[in-house]
C-alpha cells in the first residue's frame, strides 16, 4: 500500500489483489481523483455526483431491473462519495453494499462445491476453475455428484480428460467424504446435479452432501435469470450456507440485476463471472469497478477514464 500511495497519492484505493505466477502478487488500484470534498464548485471529472450523472446511474440500474429500493440505496451512497466519475461513483456504492471475494487460491481446508438450478452452467464453471488451477500449476481434484442426469458424468469427464485429471464420481455423502478426505492437500472442486430450489427433498439431499465434507458453497446463476426469481432462489437456499455467487453467460444477456438481487437477499460475496463458453477463457474474478463497468455499458456515453473497451482487463 505504501508503494501505491507513493505513486498515486493518499486517495488511492486497492480495487483487487490476485496471486500471480512465481509467487508474485498483482494489485489493481484506482484513484478517485477527489480534490476537496467541501468545495461545491468542481469540474465534471472531479466534482460531486451531478443530477445528470445521478439520472444516468438510475437509468442504468433500472435497465438492469434492479429493484427500486436497492437502486435508491446505491444512488444515495454514490451521491455521498463526491466522485464526478460515474464508474467510480457506482463502484464505491457497490463496494459499500456488497462484498467481493474470489475463492482463495491456496487454502484447501474446505472443498468448493458449485450448486444451482439445472442448466445454470455449473459443469462448465467447474471445468474453468480446474483449468485455472492446472494453468497455475496447482493440484486439483474434481468430483461430480451429478449421477442422475443423462450425460452428466460424461460431459465433465470429457472436459477433465483434456486436463489429464481423473474424475471421481460420488453417489452419496459417504462417497463424497471418502474422495475429499483422500486429497486434503489440493483444491477440491465438486460439481452437483441441478436442483429445484423450491423442492424441499432436493434441497435436503444437497445439504447432506454439503454437510458431509463441510463444503464452501458457491451458487451458480445464469445471466438472463429474472431478478424476482433470483431473489426467491437465494431466499429458498439459505439453509445451505452459501458463501459466494458465480454468474454465468454474461455474454448472452444484457440484464444483470439478478446478480445484485441474489447477492443482497442471500448475503453472498461476488466471486467470478463467466463471459465465454470456452473452457480456457472467460472466467474472471469480479470487483466493484468491473461490476460497475458491466452495469454501465459504453453505449450510454459514459465519460470516465476508468471505463475501457472491456469490463475486465
Average pLDDT, the chain: 84
pLDDT-based confidence at residue 52 (cuts at 50, 70, 90): confident
80 pLDDT exceeds 50?
yes
Q: CA nearest 20: which of 110, 135, 182, 155?
A: 135
Residue 114's pLDDT is: 98
pLDDT computed for residue 302 by the predictor: 53
* pLDDT range class, residue 155, cuts 50, 70, 90: confident
Stated pTM of the model: 0.81
What is the structure's pLDDT at 145?
95
Mean pLDDT computed over 109-125: 95
Per-residue pLDDT at 214: 96
Q: What is the pLDDT of residue 50?
A: 73
Is a pLDDT exceeding 50 seen at residue 62? yes
Cβ contact 102:288 at 8 Å? no
pLDDT at 33: 39
Over residues 250-254, the mean pLDDT reads 91
Reduce the DSSP state of residue 91 to 3 states and report it. helix
- More confident site: 292 or 309: 292
Domain limits, the chain: 2-100+296-300, 112-285
pLDDT one-digit tens code per residue, 165-200:
999 999 999 999 999 986 778 899 999 999 999 999
194-216 pLDDT, tens digit each: 999 999 999 999 999 999 999 99
In the prediction, which pLDDT does 24 show? 52
Question: What number is the average pLDDT over the span 234-244?
Answer: 97
Question: Which of helix, strand or coil describes residue 123?
Answer: helix
**pLDDT at position 73 over 50:** yes
Q: What is the mean pLDDT of residues 66-91?
A: 94
pLDDT at 112 over 50: yes
Q: Tens digit of pLDDT for each residue in 274-304?
A: 999 888 887 999 999 999 999 997 645 555 5
Q: Please check the confidence at residue 51 and state whether its pLDDT lies above 90.
A: no
DSSP states along 93-115: HHHHH-EE-PPPSS--SS-EEEE
Does position 45 have pLDDT exceeding 70, yes or no?
Answer: no
Residue 307 confidence (pLDDT) above 90 = no
CATH architecture of 112-285: 3-Layer(aba) Sandwich (3.40)
Q: What does the pLDDT look like over 83-97, one tens digit per residue?
A: 888 999 999 999 999
Give residue 206's pLDDT. 97
Helix (H, G, I), strand (E, B) or coil at 163: coil
CB 44 within 8 A of CB 236: no
pLDDT value, residue 182: 67
Pairing state between β 269-274 and 283-285:
antiparallel
pLDDT confidence of residue 293: 95
Q: Above 80 in pLDDT, residue 34?
A: no
Percent of the chain whose pLDDT exceeds 90: 65
Exposed, middle or buried: residue 107 (CB in 10 Å: 0-12, 13-18, 19+)?
exposed
Amino acid at each position: 500500500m505504501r508503494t501505491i500511495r507513493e505513486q498515486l497519492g493518499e486517495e488511492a484505493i486497492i480495487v483487487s489483489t490476485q496471486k500471480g505466477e512465481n509467487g508474485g502478487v498483482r494489485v489493481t488500484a484506482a484513484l478517485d481523483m477527489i480534490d476537496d470534498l467541501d468545495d461545491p464548485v468542481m469540474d465534471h471529472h472531479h466534482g460531486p455526483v451531478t443530477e445528470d450523472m445521478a439520472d444516468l446511474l438510475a437509468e442504468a440500474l433500472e435497465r438492469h431491473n434492479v429493484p427500486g429500493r436497492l437502486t435508491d440505496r446505491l444512488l444515495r451512497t454514490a451521491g455521498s462519495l463526491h466522485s464526478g466519475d460515474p464508474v467510480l461513483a457506482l463502484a464505491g456504492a457497490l463496494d459499500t453494499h456488497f462484498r467481493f471475494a474470489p475463492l482463495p487460491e491456496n487454502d484447501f481446508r474446505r472443498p468448493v462445491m458449485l450448486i444451482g438450478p439445472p442448466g445454470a452452467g455449473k459443469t462448465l464453471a467447474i471445468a474453468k476453475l480446474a483449468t485455472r488451477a492446472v494453468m497455475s500449476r496447482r493440484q486439483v481434484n474434481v468430483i461430480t455428484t451429478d449421477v442422475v442426469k443423462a450425460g452428466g458424468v460424461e460431459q465433465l469427464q470429457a472436459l477433465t480428460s483434456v486436463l489429464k485429471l481423473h474424475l471421481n464420481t460420488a453417489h452419496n455423502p459417504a462417497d463424497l467424504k471418502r474422495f475429499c478426505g483422500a486429497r486434503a492437500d489440493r483444491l477440491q472442486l465438486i460439481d452437483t446435479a441441478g436442483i429445484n430450489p423450491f423442492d424441499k427433498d432436493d434441497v435436503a439431499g444437497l445439504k447432506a452432501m454439503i454437510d458431509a465434507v463441510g463444503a464452501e458453497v458457491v451458487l451458480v446463476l445464469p445471466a438472463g435469470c429474472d431478478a424476482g426469481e433470483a431473489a426467491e432462489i437465494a431466499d429458498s437456499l439459505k439453509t445451505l450456507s452459501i458463501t459466494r455467487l458465480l454468474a454465468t453467460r454474461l455474454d448472452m444477456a444484457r440484464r444483470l440485476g439478478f446478480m445484485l438481487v441474489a447477492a443482497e437477499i442471500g448475503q453472498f460475496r461476488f466471486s467470478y463471472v463467466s463471459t465465454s463458453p470456452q473452457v480456457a477463457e472467460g472466467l474472471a474474478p469480479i470487483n466493484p469497478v468491473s461490476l460497475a463497468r458491466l452495469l454501465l455499458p459504453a453505449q450510454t456515453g459514459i465519460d470516465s477514464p476508468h471505463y475501457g473497451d472491456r469490463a475486465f482487463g
